[in-house]
Amino acid sequence: MQTSDKEDGLELVLGAGGVKGYLHIGLLRAVEELGLKVTHYTGVSVGSIVATLAANGWSSSKILKHFLDSHDRSKNPLFLASAFAQADLVSVMLGQPMFSLESSWKEQVKEMGISPQANLRIVACDNADKSAFLFEGTDYDLGTALSASGSFPAVFRPVRYQGKVLVDGAVFHRNPDQFCKGQAIVSQLGFATRMPEELLDPISAYFHYREVYFPFVRQETAVDTQRHVLIEQQADDVCGLSFGLSKKRCQQMYEDGYKHSKRILLDAIKEGKITCSTTTNN
């Protein structure tokens, strides 16, 4: 998707939600087809992955293929190509999470040939005071940023950076629209609120149960709907940490995200809430 540094377009805010990131990719397809000009991307957790790839010029079809390829290896887009490393024994004994994303994410960034972009914000959270920590501009390590933004507490090890301990940006806000300078389309992935339609493996079932009844951390979700266009994506049978979700269900989320997003965007265009500008897509 081609982007512009001009302020007369729209920003995209891609929220947290783990495996539900396929819904974001469907949104990107709708944005491409409608020719909407994107000036800036803000991403949290899995949203930071999709935002980074889009800001680096990847089309929705290329991102989808990459996610589906990674599914065959690791089942969850937060890992991409098995982008995780088991924690050392001492860390485990001290009660730290079992997995770290950082070293493998740095390898993935090199393999994918992606880099920080001037039109990209990656949101992580300072674990000390739960404030936002923004990676923006072009002078930071992208692998560190992506691993910090996706390091969900109690699941992934936090990232130490500039004297801070950083965790998943969703701990600050699941859909942080407050950093947008202009009007934004906010893709909100939501939480699991009912039992899964698929039979899950024990670990995925545990995370699903926790998300529905006993969330690990409280996550802010409010969005300024007077200023921005909110797209509440539909997948309340899916937990973000459902590592064993089927490929078929993932593809269905992509299609649902595309259809739902395009319908909302067409209504917004018709009502004059946003204007449609022609761009050249990849």
- pLDDT score for 9: 87
Tokens of 25: 């990719």
Confidence of residue 245 (pLDDT cuts 50, 70, 90): confident
* C-alpha span between 249 and 236 (Å, rounded): 12
Does 135 score more than 80 pLDDT? yes
* C-alpha span between 166 and 157 (Å, rounded): 9
| C-beta separation of 253 from 50 below 8 A | no
Q: pLDDT averaged over the chain? A: 88
Average pLDDT over residues 202-218: 88
The DSSP 8-state label assigned to residue 19 in this structure reads G
Q: What is the pLDDT of residues 139-194, one digit of tens each?
A: 999 999 999 999 988 888 899 999 999 999 999 999 999 999 999 999 999 999 99
Which one, of 272, 246, 276, lies nearest residue 68 by Cα?
246
Which one, of 27, 47, 38, lies nearest residue 182 by Cα?
38
- pLDDT score for 218: 79
Handedness of CA 10, 16, 17, 18 (dihedral sign): positive
* C-alpha span between 137 and 119 (Å, rounded): 7
- pLDDT score for 1: 53
List of residues 6+ apart from 222 with CB closer than 8 A = none
* Least confident among 75-84, 161-170, 217-226: 75-84
- pLDDT score for 91: 54
- pLDDT score for 282: 38
Q: Please report, rounded to a whole number, the percentage of residues in the chain having pLDDT higher than 90.
A: 71
What's at 213, amino acid-wise?
Answer: Y
- pLDDT score for 83: 43
Average pLDDT over residues 246-259: 96
* C-alpha span between 235 and 199 (Å, rounded): 16
Residue at token pair 């801070």: 164
Q: How far is CA 44 from CA 93, 121, 209, 246, in A?
A: 29, 9, 23, 23
The DSSP 8-state label assigned to residue 159 in this structure reads E
Tokens of 272: 């004059």
Give the H or E element holding residue 120: strand 120-126
* Least confident among 142-146, 207-211, 277-281: 277-281
* C-alpha span between 105 and 282 (Å, rounded): 25
Q: What is the pLDDT of residues 93-109, one digit of tens each?
A: 555 666 778 888 888 89
Parallel, antiparallel, or unpaired: how do β-strands 10-14 and 38-44 relate? parallel
